[in-house]
Structure 1
């Protein structure tokens, strides 16, 4: 990212702060503090790092995103992340939530035969290079964000332009395949949405597989290819991420949080929470570290 972009974003965001903007789908984040490997969850979003960098970790994948490479998460995906930041070089980023309907419309207008013909199952997270066209779009987005009037009038069009730049990226195969009804990525995306929405209910793996007309073994294999997690691991991590939100934002008690996130045992919940976050649920604190 060039210096002009940093100048514009610094007019909008303060240090160590998550900043809501005049466009609901766009948030800005800046921190001068190094943050060690920490669990988090993204859901259908773009992350543009303007300064500093992050390293993300999945069980069989490590990925780095910085000013040269943006991150696309087409489905809710829990992973762990390390943030590199300092006073001299703060970690600064733009988080954009993607509108599924608009992205679907854009992809439907794009001829991308290589995505349709790609046989291998793609993973539900990918990086792509920041092009000059995309830099230009981001610069104009930051200029628009400085005015409520311009945000209201031009916001949708600039987001649509950014979605398009993402959809024609070199690595956007998953994004295209997730909107093709009979593709495995599409089936897995629907399953992830069900789990994300019904995490507090009893989720039966054979039933989830049957919903997509798949055998349990095939479902398990393809689920892990897309998420790098088994279905049960994914469900547990989604529940624990939701639990942290309930504990810190809704001020629920530990036993209330356990049952609200689908756990039948409060003690098992506390054990899993401590194993995942490194501290017991009663010590959970609110954090802006979501981007």
Structure 2
């Protein structure tokens, strides 16, 4: 990102924090502290790094996103992220929620020539290059955010512009397929939404497969292709991420958290939590405060 962009974002964000802006779903984040590999859930969003960098880990996949490469997360995904930042060079990013209705309209309007590049899909999360045109859009977005009136009147138009540039990006294959209702990728997105809404209930894999008119084996195959995790692995990670939030931000007790996240056994919850985070759930609050 160029220096003009950094000048504008520093007018909007002063201290280490998440800063909400005049456009709903557009947030700024800054930190001067290096963070080791830490669990983090992204949900249907774009991440533009203006300074510093992050490395995201999803199973065996590694994503390095910085000022030259943005990240697209077209569905809720439990990551592990390492953040590179210092007082001399803070990590600064823009987080933009993807508005489904706008993206649906854009993708359905894209020419067949653009859609031809959407034949092969690997994993749902992808990186793409920050073009000069995209930098220009981000610069104008940051200028606009400084005025509540401009944000209210022109906010949707600048987001539409950014979404269009994402949708014609070199690696936007999955983004296209997830909006085609009969495609396996779209079916997986619907199942992922069900899991996120019902993570605290009993989740039956055969039922999820049947709801999308798929066999269990086909469901497993496509689910792993989209998320890089098996359905059970994904459900466990989502529950553990939710549990961390309940323990650290809502100050819930361990037993209470276990049942609130769909576990039938508090001891099994504690075992899974320690295996994933490296410490027992009763120490979560202290570990969170250290980070």
Fold match by TM threshold 0.5: yes
- Taking only aligned residues, the RMSD between alpha carbons, in angstroms, comes to 1.6
**Equivalent residue of 1:30, what SS?**
strand
Identify the residue that residue 44 of structure 2 maps to in structure 1: 44
In structure 1, distance between residues paired with 2:138 and 2:117: 31
In structure 2, distance between residues paired with 1:273 and 1:30: 28
Contact 1:16 1:30 in 2 (8 A): yes
Contact 1:39 1:276 in 2 (8 A): no
**Equivalent residue of 1:140, what SS?**
helix
In structure 2, distance between residues paired with 1:77 and 1:39: 11
TM-score when scaled to structure 1? 0.95
| Residues 196-235 of structure 1: per-residue CA shift (max 9 Å, x gap) | 1111111011111111111111111111111010100000
Identify the residue that residue 160 of structure 2 maps to in structure 1: 160
Identify the residue that residue 133 of structure 2 maps to in structure 1: 133
In structure 2, distance between residues paired with 1:160 and 1:194: 27
1:1-291 → structure 2 map (5 Å cutoff) = 1-112=1-112, 115=115, 118-285=118-285
In structure 2, distance between residues paired with 1:250 and 1:227: 28
Contact 2:120 2:173 in 1 (8 A): no
In structure 1, distance between residues paired with 2:3 and 2:190: 40
In structure 1, distance between residues paired with 2:137 and 2:173: 22
In structure 2, distance between residues paired with 1:230 and 1:113: 34
1:89 deviates by: 1.1
In structure 2, distance between residues paired with 1:121 and 1:67: 25
1:114 deviates by: 6.2
- Any unmatched runs of 5+ in structure 2? none
1:181 deviates by: 1.2
| Residues 43-99 of structure 1: per-residue CA shift (max 9 Å, x gap) | 100000000101111222111000000000000111211111111111110000111
| Residues 241-278 of structure 1: per-residue CA shift (max 9 Å, x gap) | 11112222222211111111100011111121122122
TM-score when scaled to structure 2? 0.95
* Bigger share in helix: 2
Contact 1:202 1:262 in 2 (8 A): yes
- Any unmatched runs of 5+ in structure 1? none
Contact 2:118 2:172 in 1 (8 A): no
In structure 1, distance between residues paired with 2:183 and 2:119: 10
| Residues 76-134 of structure 1: per-residue CA shift (max 9 Å, x gap) | 11121111111111111000011111111111111245646755443110000101111
In structure 1, distance between residues paired with 2:104 and 2:192: 17
Residues 75, 239 of structure 1: alpha-carbon distance in 2 compared, 3 angstrom cutoff? same
Q: How many residues align?
A: 288
**Equivalent residue of 1:247, what SS?**
helix
In structure 2, distance between residues paired with 1:37 and 1:284: 16
In structure 2, distance between residues paired with 1:116 and 1:204: 36
Residues 21, 244 of structure 1: alpha-carbon distance in 2 compared, 3 angstrom cutoff? same
Contact 2:117 2:173 in 1 (8 A): no
In structure 1, distance between residues paired with 2:50 and 2:112: 29
